Chain A
Amino acid sequence: MTTTPEKTDVDLVSVTIDGIQVSVPKDTLVIRAAEQVGVQIPRFCDHPLLAPVGACRQCLVDVPDAGNGRGFPKPQASCTLPVAEGMVVNTQATSEVADKAQQGVMEFLLINHPLDCPVCDKGGECPLQNQAMSNGRAESRFSASGGVKRTYPKPINISAQVLLDRERCVLCARCTRFSEEIAGDPFIALIERGALQQVGIYEKEPLQSYFSGNTIQICPVGALTSAEYRFRSRPFDLVSSPSVGEHDACGSAIRVDHRRGKVMRRLAGNDPEVNEEWITDKDRFAFHYATQDDRITYPQVRDEDGSLRPASWPEAFAVAARGLRDAGPSAVLMGGRHTVEDAFAYSTFARVALGTNDIDFRARPHSAEEADFLASSVVLTGPGGGAVTYADLERAATVVLVGLEPEDEAGAIFLRLRKATKHGTRVVAVAPFRSRGLEKLGGHLIATLPGEEVAAIDGLLGHADHGVDASSVVLVGDRMASVPGALSAAAALAATSGARLAWVPRRAGDRGAVEAGCLPNLLPGGRPVADASARVDAAAAWGVDSLPDVAGRDGAAIVAALASGELGGVVIGGIDPDDTADPAATRAALAAARFVVAVELRETDVTRGADVVFPVAPVTDKAGTFVTWEGRTRPFEAVLSNPASLPDLRILAGIAEELAQLGHGSPLGFRTVPEARARMIEMGAWDGERPAAPTVSAVPAGSGEGLALATWKQMIDDGSMQDGDKHLAATARPTVARVSRAVLDAVGPTVTVTGDRGSVTLPAVVADDLADGVVWLPARSFGRGVLADVASPGSRVTVKGDPS
């Protein structure tokens, strides 16, 4: 290795462990220094990401010299003892004292443990079981001497999802410490004392946390289990495959455990740069959506009688190609859930097969300003180029959140911010009210009416209390697309203050779709459509003569053009009309379209009305890459082998080839994920000039009647990718409208919120520090969601009391 200046900055301390000298950074704990010489000291309470407690006493070692020439008279807990220069440590490998101490503690741990390994979910992957084998005695003296174990009724719910077997618990307090230190949800605590000590909840106050599943994973015994996985399989029957979370743009590493072609559970992977060892409950538990009864397993085409009938793949490709050729100009609508490879295929398909720039991945409210902002300030940025990373959140003096509720929308960011705030990072949120997440970050709220974020962003520059400067990071959520001028203001703020700016989308494929050019103004690799040399570059890479030279229609314009007949056909994949800016318009456009090719995992309103339906592989069945909000690529391989399950790119390649046969456009030039990756690498990134950041001015907030509607999606809601786990659904936060105290007092505890698209009646609660004149609704927790059932975010709604 080369020696870099950063490396030499670390103060090294030299210690001798089991006779082997090793240099480790100052303040390293002995238990981890021992790992450097290849000695694993048994442990239970110790966890590298939790503060040391020294409670279980399993990691006792002998310290004949503490570095000052004197030894400790008693064995020391190596998980709480930092190294000191010249320290001598003897572990169980070389010290009888340490070995006996460890064996003694292990024996104690087992006396009140039920030893029910054969029926325990943890059996086979249990640190207690493993370490009892490596550091314990084979026979129980407690049982032999007629000892009576402490017993409890099994199991108890500490939340809808998490169950506790108190008998198995070794009281290491990892779960309670995680909940308090990491998640900030201290809803579980140790109660009672002595051997009757146990993990408990306050009466009728379950463990309410979006991160509760992590407690199950770090439990070193089988005390915590999930309702979702309990009794489902044995660890030794499972095959574990690394993958990447598909529920948000965080790119969290996950481990998928599967058995005979079926995913049994998911665990957090360890990606220190990204999610460390934690994932959200959604990433952990929401995977049954791919195996629901409505999963499409074969292609379908519209029959003469108007119904959809099964078709062979070649027939479906041919019907799709003919239909698109005959429909006239066609466009591509694809959601934000695709891998980069699939997104690249959509981007390529639009340009070389359909010959259009009418493509948009933004299946949500969006704007031309946003497309310009993505082209100017987001695409091609990444950790390699100095873009904001998770680690930067920890280093920043201030992190400003604009239109981003990390606890709901980006769990890994939330946890990293929690960690950052402990080191002194200050969080400032431009938001309508003080959310529970902001509370847990100890953050400062700039209470802002939806639509008035621009003023709030402008006010950050040089503000006496919470001004931003070069030591700040600004995270702007994709919701800001619906606020004219907000993204322009954020880019301007970063430019003037020197603060670093990052765009945090909500969906896993959003950022990859930007990179792949799934926008009307961008080609793959950040090539601006408007730049002739960029077009030539892309055309050469694709092996086509030329590319359309005008920017295409964005999502809303495609919808409008389909409705008006300007566009005839559409290839649509991964879109729920109710997520789009105007659900009714989207539905009408699909109905009006002359030809609809749907590429979908499960039956939806879109597939039911389509002319050709292609089944598509879920992420478990294909290799791919997600790009995190940072611009970091996180590739993954297929978890399951399912030959009938094809990625989007293979379907698009099939249609493109048929179209080419008909003399329409060119084939994509790739059919598989490796081929797509090779083509993307070959194409590379655009090294030409970047477009300038947009300079859209704020639109004066409409005064109008009623309250301004604020909304975002809660982490656990009615999203279709959470279908199939009722226990997860039961951990969702209650569906309530958040109003000011004055509104609650005026209209009572149940409110009816009415917008231009309809109304909803919900229980109301008072939101802390809610900006005047705002009502907040969860975006997808009732009916068909806010966009379909109530109104657009930021628009005016009326709030009335329950008429009954």
Chain B
Amino acid sequence: MSDSVTGSVKGTLTPVLTDNWGSERSWTLAAYEAQGGYGALRNALAMAPDDVISAVKDSGLRGRGGAGFPTGMKWSFIPQDNPKPKYLVVNADESEPGTCKDIPLMMATPHTLVEGVIISSYAIRANTAFIYIRGEVLHVIRRVQAAVAEAYAAGHLGKDIHGSGYDLDLVVHAGAGAYICGEETALLEGLEGRRGQPRLRPPFPAVAGLYASPTVINNVESIASVPSILEHGAEWFASMGTEKSKGYGIFSLSGHVTRPGQYEAPLGITLRELIDLAGGVREGHSLKFWTPGGSSTPLLTADHLDVPLDFEGVGAVGSMLGTRALQIFDETTCVVRAVLRWTEFYKHESCGKCTPCREGTWWLVQTLAALERGQGTEADLDLLLDQCDNILGRSFCALGDGATSPISSSIAHFREEYLAHLQHGGCPFDPAASTTFAAEGALA
């Protein structure tokens, strides 16, 4: 993990969530409280719930799961006159290829999340909260379960928390291994014991979510950011980042960089700065393309090294900030191969509910695979783009949209490379050269 990096480069990085990752047994309650943990909770319980919402609104915190919806505004949509119970659900189903921030966070500092859950639930007046954790990461599930048990034992959870009269139960739920359950309504279906498939909206979860009751669904990092806002104040949080994208975030660098890991920095940092922090692109190689926020965000190239990594900046160059999962690919990587792998992922993970995603991904893989084998003609690129056009914005949820991003963006940036496959009669790259175990100085 990046604990040797975070905190060591001052001025650019702003370790908050990652600040304690290097401390001894950072995941324990004792270690967390030794660093002032659960102090924000006491601040919050002394406030009126609406004031907590206002603080989060004022901080400018936007959802860290990818879409960037203002968190405080989402909370204020919960109809408080609705007699049904309210629920907070934490989306910890981190499954996006390249995205790897929530899982290390829950491993290293689960109490930050638990404290965030308690404060957030208090704000929206929920007495039951759920953390829906991706089922494959059993070690993380156990760690969060242990943290929740510790929090109960310490009186942070349960009845009449710290004498405030506020009750909260927190349930850690293990998913069953479906990418679609990261989609919030599919997550709710899964939580209710059904198959993970997205729900028709409206009604939106804020009105009729879990068990048809008002529900807030937030990403792990969003909720984990809440204690820092309550501890240091909304202004402190808003002082970081850019005008419309406030605060800090975890940037996950992976792939062909010297020191991959979690880099927590204000939104608006550029990839050039991040790569510098990570010790540069793999020795002897140069950047070819990268994803700003996981495989569902259109990929970018070396031309975009200075794009500010905030919601607006990345959006302006035709991609999305997403989950800040920066996958770095150097020139040894065949973009067609990379895109095919991602597309196979989407085909495997399509839930099957809607036609464009279910059938479209099935066909995309076949078309792409043929292209990678050097079969077909240039017209197949147009066919591929037309398939993407028929999926994007036509599918039931964003999974289908995401499946088209790598394809259409890679054709836009690397059309020649696709054609080279056709001319070469197969992939012109040495697949071994892109591996991390490739010999030093291996060439394409």
* B358 & A190 in contact (Cβ 8 Å cutoff): no
- Helix, strand, loop or mixed for chain A's interface? loop
* A108 & B355 in contact (Cβ 8 Å cutoff): yes
List A contacts of B396 (CB < 8 A): 54-55, 57
- Which among A56, A60, A108, A193 is the interface contact of B360 at CB below 8 angstroms? A108
A111 CB within 8 Å of chain B: yes
- Which among A52, A101, A109, A194 is the interface contact of B351 at CB below 8 angstroms? A194
List B contacts of A108 (CB < 8 A): 355-356, 358-360, 363, 390
Shortest CB distance A108–B (Å): 4
B383 CB within 8 Å of chain A: yes
Residue from the set A73, A104, A190, A193 with the largest chain B CB neighbour count within 10 Å: A193
Q: Which residue of A lies closest to B195 (CB)?
A: A190
Shortest CB distance B198–A (Å): 10
In the assembled complex, the Cα of A74 lies from the Cα of B350 at a distance in Å of 20
* B363 & A142 in contact (Cβ 8 Å cutoff): yes
Q: Which residue of A lies closest to B194 (CB)?
A: A189
* B393 & A75 in contact (Cβ 8 Å cutoff): yes
A112 CB within 8 Å of chain B: yes
* B362 & A112 in contact (Cβ 8 Å cutoff): yes
A58 CB within 8 Å of chain B: yes
Complex interface bits, A73-96 against B, C-beta within 8 A gives 1, otherwise 0: 111000010000000000000000
Count B interface residues, CB 8 Å: 36
* B389 & A104 in contact (Cβ 8 Å cutoff): yes
Complex interface bits, B388-417 against A, C-beta within 8 A gives 1, otherwise 0: 011101111000000000000000000000
- Which among B358, B376, B386 is the interface contact of A197 at CB below 8 angstroms? B358
- Which among B180, B360, B383, B390 is the interface contact of A100 at CB below 8 angstroms? B390
* A147 & B363 in contact (Cβ 8 Å cutoff): yes
A118 CB within 8 Å of chain B: no
A146 CB within 8 Å of chain B: yes
Shortest CB distance A551–B (Å): 59
* A105 & B367 in contact (Cβ 8 Å cutoff): no
In the assembled complex, the Cα of A109 lies from the Cα of B386 at a distance in Å of 15
* B376 & A57 in contact (Cβ 8 Å cutoff): no
Q: Which residue of B lies closest to A191 (CB)?
A: B195
List B contacts of A107 (CB < 8 A): 390
Shortest CB distance B400–A (Å): 9
In the assembled complex, the Cα of A195 lies from the Cα of B358 at a distance in Å of 5
A218 CB within 8 Å of chain B: no
* B352 & A105 in contact (Cβ 8 Å cutoff): no
B25 CB within 8 Å of chain A: no
B353 CB within 8 Å of chain A: yes
* A146 & B200 in contact (Cβ 8 Å cutoff): no
- Which among B355, B363, B367 is the interface contact of A58 at CB below 8 angstroms? B355
List B contacts of A146 (CB < 8 A): 366, 370, 375
* B355 & A56 in contact (Cβ 8 Å cutoff): yes
In the assembled complex, the Cα of A502 lies from the Cα of B24 at a distance in Å of 78
In the assembled complex, the Cα of A293 lies from the Cα of B343 at a distance in Å of 61
Shortest CB distance B189–A (Å): 12
Shortest CB distance B251–A (Å): 29
- Which among A56, A80, A111 is the interface contact of B200 at CB below 8 angstroms? A80
- Which among A101, A141, A171, A191 is the interface contact of B358 at CB below 8 angstroms? A171
Shortest CB distance A139–B (Å): 13
In the assembled complex, the Cα of A109 lies from the Cα of B387 at a distance in Å of 13
In the assembled complex, the Cα of A191 lies from the Cα of B194 at a distance in Å of 11
* B376 & A145 in contact (Cβ 8 Å cutoff): yes
A192 CB within 8 Å of chain B: yes
Shortest CB distance B404–A (Å): 12
* B394 & A60 in contact (Cβ 8 Å cutoff): yes
Shortest CB distance A45–B (Å): 9
Q: Which residue of B lies closest to A144 (CB)?
A: B383
- Which among A100, A109, A111, A192 is the interface contact of B352 at CB below 8 angstroms? A192
B299 CB within 8 Å of chain A: no
List B contacts of A101 (CB < 8 A): 390, 394
B84 CB within 8 Å of chain A: no
Range, interface on chain A: 35 or more
List A contacts of B350 (CB < 8 A): 193-195
Complex interface bits, A172-196 against B, C-beta within 8 A gives 1, otherwise 0: 0000000000000000011111111
Given contacts A104-B390, A145-B376, A55 and B356 within 8 Å (CB-CB): no
In the assembled complex, the Cα of A219 lies from the Cα of B353 at a distance in Å of 16
Shortest CB distance B136–A (Å): 16
Given contacts A111-B359, A145-B376, A195 and B354 within 8 Å (CB-CB): no
Considering only residues 143-186 of chain A, those with a C-beta below 8 Å from chain B are 145-148, 150, 170-171
- Which among A56, A141, A189 is the interface contact of B354 at CB below 8 angstroms? A56
* B394 & A105 in contact (Cβ 8 Å cutoff): yes
Given contacts A145-B376, A145-B380, A146-B370, A105 and B355 within 8 Å (CB-CB): yes
List B contacts of A58 (CB < 8 A): 355
Complex interface bits, A379-409 against B, C-beta within 8 A gives 1, otherwise 0: 0000000000000000000000000000000
Shortest CB distance B190–A (Å): 12
B121 CB within 8 Å of chain A: no
List A contacts of B256 (CB < 8 A): none
Given contacts A145-B383, A146-B370, A105 and B356 within 8 Å (CB-CB): yes
A53 CB within 8 Å of chain B: yes
* B356 & A194 in contact (Cβ 8 Å cutoff): no
Given contacts A112-B362, A145-B376, A145-B380, A194 and B352 within 8 Å (CB-CB): yes
Shortest CB distance B394–A (Å): 5
List A contacts of B363 (CB < 8 A): 108, 111, 142, 147
List A contacts of B366 (CB < 8 A): 145-148
Shortest CB distance B377–A (Å): 10
* B351 & A193 in contact (Cβ 8 Å cutoff): yes
B347 CB within 8 Å of chain A: yes
* B200 & A195 in contact (Cβ 8 Å cutoff): no
List B contacts of A145 (CB < 8 A): 366-367, 370, 376, 380, 383
In the assembled complex, the Cα of A694 lies from the Cα of B72 at a distance in Å of 70
List A contacts of B376 (CB < 8 A): 145
List A contacts of B395 (CB < 8 A): 57
Shortest CB distance A221–B (Å): 13
* B393 & A73 in contact (Cβ 8 Å cutoff): yes
In the assembled complex, the Cα of A32 lies from the Cα of B147 at a distance in Å of 53
B349 CB within 8 Å of chain A: yes
Shortest CB distance A475–B (Å): 31
B142 CB within 8 Å of chain A: no
* B354 & A74 in contact (Cβ 8 Å cutoff): no
Shortest CB distance B67–A (Å): 15
List A contacts of B390 (CB < 8 A): 100-101, 104-105, 107-108
Shortest CB distance B360–A (Å): 5
In the assembled complex, the Cα of A747 lies from the Cα of B358 at a distance in Å of 55
In the assembled complex, the Cα of A147 lies from the Cα of B394 at a distance in Å of 22
Given contacts A101-B394, A195-B347, A52 and B200 within 8 Å (CB-CB): yes
Shortest CB distance B367–A (Å): 6
B178 CB within 8 Å of chain A: yes
* B200 & A194 in contact (Cβ 8 Å cutoff): no
Q: Which residue of B lies closest to A97 (CB)?
A: B393
* A55 & B353 in contact (Cβ 8 Å cutoff): yes
* B362 & A111 in contact (Cβ 8 Å cutoff): yes
Shortest CB distance A100–B (Å): 7
* A194 & B361 in contact (Cβ 8 Å cutoff): yes
* A104 & B356 in contact (Cβ 8 Å cutoff): yes
Complex interface bits, B323-356 against A, C-beta within 8 A gives 1, otherwise 0: 0000000000000000000000001111111111
Q: Which residue of B lies closest to A60 (CB)?
A: B394
* A171 & B393 in contact (Cβ 8 Å cutoff): no
Considering only residues 152-168 of chain B, those with a C-beta below 8 Å from chain A are none
Q: Report the 9 A-B pairs with minimum CB-CB distance, sorted nearest first.
A: A104-B390, A197-B352, A74-B393, A108-B359, A194-B350, A195-B362, A193-B352, A194-B352, A108-B355
A-B contact pairs, 15 of them (CB 8 A): A55-B396, A57-B395, A74-B393, A75-B393, A104-B391, A105-B356, A105-B394, A108-B358, A108-B359, A145-B380, A145-B383, A171-B353, A189-B195, A193-B349, A193-B352
Given contacts A108-B363, A111-B363, 17 further A-B contacts (CB under 8 A): A55-B396, A57-B354, A60-B394, A100-B389, A104-B356, A105-B355, A108-B359, A112-B359, A141-B383, A145-B367, A145-B383, A150-B362, A189-B195, A193-B349, A195-B347, A195-B359, A197-B352
